[in-house]
Amino acid sequence: RRAETGFELKSVSLLKKCILNEICTANGLANG
């Protein structure tokens, strides 16, 4: 179970990074 939890945490962190990257990219495009 610990391994699964660790994997889930990694997946969530990666997902957050992807979302943040999309937001940063959207802001960059909006800012020109």
Tens of pLDDT along the chain (32 residues) come to: 666 778 888 889 988 998 999 988 998 888 87
Q: Which two tokens stand for residue 7?
A: 């994997």
Query: What pLDDT is recorded for position 1?
Result: 62
Give residue 20's pLDDT. 92
CA distances (Å), 23 to each of 8, 9, 29, in order? 22, 21, 10
Predicted TM-score (pTM) above 0.75 = no
Please report the pLDDT score of residue 31 as a whole number. Answer: 86
Largest CA distance in the chain: 46
pLDDT of residue 3: 67
